[in-house]
Structure 1
Amino acid sequence: MSNKILVALFAAALAVLTLSTNAFASDENLADFHAEMGGCESCHADGEPSADGEYEFEQCQSCHGTLAEMDDNHAPHDGMLMCADCHAPHDMNVGDVPTCDSCHDDGRSAQ
């Protein structure tokens, strides 16, 4: 198996654990955490942000799966949002969970 595939599989497994348990919550920035797995190119084409964020969204899905494949908090947003709409990779730390009330004013909260 190539190193790229192994890294992607490891990253996906780690992401599932992180999203499901917050067991890896830390002071490490999400962008820095992802950069450790391959530099800025692990999320950005040629290390530069795309104009519309679509490339980065595809990169998220290649490791973490589509929103439709995720839990009940993510699936309803499939086709409407991109990961970075809620998870600000350069502003959030590993294990941070965005709250639903940043968009919804009906008292929902991420569990």
Structure 2
Amino acid sequence: MLKVLGLTVLLSFSAAATAASVADTHTEMAGCESCHADGAPSSDMAFENEACITCHGSLKELEGEMHTQHDGIITCSDCHVVHEEASANDSCANCH
């Protein structure tokens, strides 16, 4: 019983330690400028979405059927809530 409890506590702490928003992990690279021109968000998010593509590739180049199915239909920021700890899959209900 103690082994199960200890493992549960350990897994809880390891998940909490690794949970971070996309923005938090990208800011460590080059500050806000790693995604935003002059460190400030653009009004239409076009610059930010192009920054995603520059580093990660277009939707058709990414792994996962959900990326290739949505190529040309949506942008990265439609699914990835970058300043919150959220799963991109949580945004599926916004359209489906």
Greater radius of gyration (CA): 2
Give distance in 1, aligned partners of 2:26 and 2:79.
Answer: 17
Q: Which moved more, 1:47-56 or 1:25-34?
A: 25-34
User: CA separation in 2, counterparts of 1:39 and 1:75?
Assistant: 29
1:77 corresponds, among 62, 70, 73, to 70
* Structure-1 residue corresponding to 2:43: 51
**Over aligned residue pairs, what C-alpha RMSD do you find?**
1.7
The structure showing larger relative contact order (alpha-carbon pairs under 8 Å, at least 6 residues apart) is: 1
The number of equivalent residue pairs is 78
**What TM-score do the two structures reach when normalised by structure 2?**
0.72
Moved over 4 A (4+): none
User: In the alignment, residue 35 of structure 1 is paired with which amino acid?
Assistant: T
- Cα distance between partner residues in 2 of 1:103 and 1:92: 20
Q: What is the distance in 1 between the residues matched to 2:34 and 2:94?
A: 28
1:13 maps to: none
Secondary structure of the residue aligned to 2:30 is coil
One-letter identity of the residue aligned with 1:92: E
CA deviation map 1:47-98 (0-9, x unaligned): 00011111000100111110011221101211111111100000135xx342
Q: Indicate the SS of the match to 2:38.
A: helix
Q: Distance in 1 between matches of 2:85 and 2:57?
A: 20
Pick the structure with more helix per residue. Answer: 2
Aligned to 1:26: 18
Q: Which residue of 1 aligns with 2:9?
A: none
42-51 vs 71-80, which moves further: 71-80
TM-score (norm 1): 0.63
